[in-house]
Amino acid sequence: MCDTQHLLHSHHHGPEFILDTPVMRDFIAEVKAAIAAGGTVEEAIERFKPAFSALMEDPTWLPEEYMTDAVESGMGGGIGQWALYRAQDGSLCLFSLVVPPGKSTPIHDHLAWGLIGLYRGTQDEDVYAHEAGHEHVHLKSSNKIEEGGFFALIPPDDDIHQITTTSDVTSVSLHLLTNDTGCIWRHRFDQETGLPSPFRSGYVNAECDDDHEHDHPHDPAHSHSH
């Protein structure tokens, strides 16, 4: 059990609502109210699950442009991370992740809690975990994700995974997470060695505040507030 303190923030000065519609504004208001009510992360997630489920079941609210492949992206392979909402204090984001047929994301972590759901297509998910006392990760479990399915993400358990699209259409998943996931420095893990390196995925349609700076990335801490 952990409280609703956010794990990692990255402030930005752009618009909060990239997709600015009544559906989006109502949804984010419900999520913020659920988090503000306090208690544990698990309790907050239970409070906003119905709103997330309604979003997952509605085929009309997400424009096609946010479900298309990305020629250039931080994950490569045409994988696109499309920002839909980003709290200016870095405490919450909603984005769609599109993965073309047959493509896989890097093994990566998120460093945030929230919900992830599959809006279109089918996916295989490989979940990884750290070896006790070691930096490298090992395969922990594999799941088949069907359209409409969603699950809670609560670090450090099950925070590290790799997604592969198994459908013949690009898969689209919705990520509601309590940081600015595309702009924080997190980790990707080598496919062969399982060792981490600093990684920032970015967004296809939104800039991070320091996109034009040339500072070397810091290596984010492996530990989480929990």
* CA 97 – CA 137 distance, rounded (Å): 23
Span 8-51, pLDDT tens digits = 555 666 789 999 999 999 999 999 999 999 999 999 999 999 99
Q: Which amino acid is at 127?
A: V
Q: What is the mean pLDDT of residues 85-96?
A: 96
The CATH number that domain 22-199 falls under is: 2.60.120.10
Q: Which amino acid is at 225?
A: S
User: Tokens 């952990």, residue?
Assistant: 2
E strands in the chain: 80-86, 93-99, 107-108, 114-120, 123-130, 137-145, 150-153, 160-165, 171-177, 186-189, 196-199
Span 160-199, pLDDT tens digits = 999 999 999 999 999 999 999 999 999 999 999 999 999 9
pTM of the full predicted structure? 0.87
* CA 6 – CA 42 distance, rounded (Å): 13
Q: What is the mean pLDDT of residues 54-65?
A: 96
* CA 55 – CA 140 distance, rounded (Å): 30
Q: Which of 68-77, 154-163, 166-175, 207-216 has the highest mean pLDDT?
A: 166-175
DSSP 181-193: TTTS-EEEE-TTT
